[in-house]
Amino acid sequence: MQSKDNNSIDKTEASRISEKIINGDRLILARIITQIENETPLGFSVLEEIYSETGKAQLIGITGAPGTGKSTLVNQLAAYYREPEDGISKSVAIVAVDPTSPFSGGAILGDRVRMRSLSGDPGVFIRSMASRGSLGGIAATTSAIVLALDAAGYERIIIETVGAGQAEVDIANLAHTTIVVESPGMGDDIQAIKAGILEIADIIVINKADKPGADITERALLSSLQINLKNQNDPNRYQHMNNGLIDDHSKIEYGEIRIPSVIKTVATTGEGIASLHKIIEEHYTYLVNSCELSQKEKKRISFELDVLLRDKLLSNWKRKTKKELYDEIFQKTLTRDISPWKAVDQLVDGEKR
Amino acid sequence: MSSRKIRVLIAKPGLDGHDRGAKVVARALRDAGMEVVYTGLRQTPEMIAESALQEDVDIVGISILSGAHMALVPRILDLLKENQQENVKVFVGGIIPDEDIAKLKNLGVAGVYGPGTLTTQIVLDLRNILQE
């Protein structure tokens, strides 16, 4: 059968390609990232082959409103990972996501402008992505691209997102450490109480801390966290932060519950970057030592499977369903003979009333 | 299923600090539905080639107003070839004397666009070049 032949060709080519990626071929890596981004059969085949080589990299998500200096911060952080004051140099990949224009479908991907100093370093790989209509802070294929970079051996992968409304949630699903970047004088007292940040951020960075108002911003954030701190020792609070994924038999220690760190930086000068690096590394160690890393992983896989299942079930269903039936029920909904809920009942369960 | 987007790198090599043209072209290409990686100023040919590789672009646009194009463009073309990216199409914008336009095209530059070029022309040309 033709499709079977294609699959076996793909598999051989996919194995060849994945071996090259794992062995450090950057050109092939870049090209496969394009395949993955375009959701081609080859892209999927390669993902299949490399999947067992993933799970090694530490993923750091960075989000925050435009103008907070995220790109400059990412540049400094990556450079520091390459040459830390104490500690071993790590290879770094950066995925920078910028918004796609809803009108033209095009995008300006400008994050490299801030990353000149990383140029020429073979231990750094930077890839810019457009969100391509995705409403959260990352693109639909960002997590798959992160897998490719992981398999290629980059030890730290920084995902810099568009600072849009749901970005914190999206990035927290993907990254091990979620960093939210604030900057003084951007309506901070409201931001400080924004529930999304406080519950999702592992680290809150106040960048541009040389600007007036940095101390006020810091105080406002810390006092908001104090309010949450009241319930610090309440096991139910811990459960809330994990959205109830703790089962009865889990062995979680309630001793020291981690609250987000707040740190001031001036990315343009590098001030605070060494401390940020230290906190990120400490956070990952904490995740490993508590059960949180495996909880996060379970939650991420669960979420990912749901999304993929939803897509696949819907497209399978559409393929199997007669267009006339769909049109008939669609029409009834349009003329308000039946409600959309009834329409779906009829379409899916075949109920007739 | 995502549609295939054209990815373009727009770079300014050398010490030339005039980037308005490059930004105008970048925006025009975005408005034409392309994904434009804009690298900014003071890029070396090595940085441009490296960006082109990592970003797996289809097209590289180089903006030079400093007159150094005959030194910089050939170097960039060589580096692209070294990186097995000889299929990447290169176009040049900026201040290029007429006698150099032919030379650049002989080296493999797909288009040279001086001041007054309509961005619609560039978009059309780029689309045609990629069809070939």
Whole-number Cα distances in Å, A266 to A73, A78, A151, A188 = 8, 15, 33, 17
Measured between CA atoms, the residue of chain A closest to residue B25 is: A108
**A108: contact with B, CB 8 A cutoff:** yes
**Contact residues, chain B, for A108 at CB < 8 Å:** 26-27, 30, 36, 38
DSSP single-letter state for residue A337: S
Q: Report the percentage of chain B scoring pLDDT > 90.
A: 87
**A67: contact with B, CB 8 A cutoff:** no
**B127: contact with A, CB 8 A cutoff:** no
**B31: contact with A, CB 8 A cutoff:** yes
**Contact residues, chain B, for A109 at CB < 8 Å:** 35-38, 55
Alpha helix locations (H) across A133-166? 142-151
Burial code of A148-169, b = ≥16 C-beta within 10 A, e = fewer? bbbbbbbbbbbbbbbbbebbbe
Q: What is the ipTM of this complex?
A: 0.94
State the burial class of residue A281 (Cβ atoms within 10 Å of its Cβ: 0-12, 13-18, 19+). middle
How far is A270 from B108, CA to CA, in rounded Å? Answer: 42
pLDDT for the residue numbered A286 = 87
**Contact residues, chain A, for B46 at CB < 8 Å:** 119-120
> Phi-psi region for residue A146, left (φ > 0), alpha (ψ -120 to 50) or beta?
alpha
Q: Is pLDDT at A242 greater than 50 in this prediction?
A: no
Measured between CA atoms, the residue of chain B closest to residue A109 is: B37
Confidence of residue B123 (pLDDT cuts 50, 70, 90): very high
Confidence of residue A196 (pLDDT cuts 50, 70, 90): low
**Contact residues, chain A, for B119 at CB < 8 Å:** none
CB–CB contact A125 B46 (8 Å)? no
**A157: contact with B, CB 8 A cutoff:** no
Residue located via tokens 């970079």? A149
Which tokens go with B83?
Answer: 């990186």
Sign, Cα dihedral of A46, A49, A50, A54: positive
Whole-number Cα distances in Å, A214 to A265, A353, B12, B76 = 10, 64, 35, 44
Q: Encode pLDDT of A5-60 as tens digits.
A: 455 556 789 999 999 999 999 999 999 999 999 999 999 999 999 999 999 999 99
**A119: contact with B, CB 8 A cutoff:** yes
CB–CB contact B35 A31 (8 Å)? no
Alpha helix locations (H) across chain B? 20-31, 45-55, 69-82, 98-107, 119-131
**A9: contact with B, CB 8 A cutoff:** no
How far is A310 from A304, CA to CA, in rounded Å? Answer: 10
Is B11:B61 a contact under the CB 8 Å cutoff? yes
Q: Encode pLDDT of A78-94 as tens digits.
A: 999 999 998 899 999 99
Is B63:B25 a contact under the CB 8 Å cutoff? yes
**Contact residues, chain A, for B25 at CB < 8 Å:** none
CB–CB contact B47 A119 (8 Å)? yes
Measured between CA atoms, the residue of chain A closest to residue B26 is: A108
Measured between CA atoms, the residue of chain B closest to residue A108 is: B36
The candidate with the shortest Cα–Cα distance to A260, out of A198, A307, A208, A305, is A198
Tell me the whole-structure pTM to 2 decimals: 0.87
CB–CB contact B56 A132 (8 Å)? no
Residue of A29, A33, A71, A119 to mutate for B, most B C-beta atoms under 10 A: A119
How far is B29 from A107, CA to CA, in rounded Å? Answer: 9
Sign, Cα dihedral of A252, A255, A256, A259: positive
Whole-number Cα distances in Å, A182 to A192, A219, A227, A349, B88 = 9, 13, 19, 49, 39
Q: Encode pLDDT of A281-331 as tens digits.
A: 989 998 888 888 898 889 888 888 888 899 889 989 989 988 999 999 999
pLDDT for the residue numbered A339 = 95
CB–CB contact B33 A112 (8 Å)? no
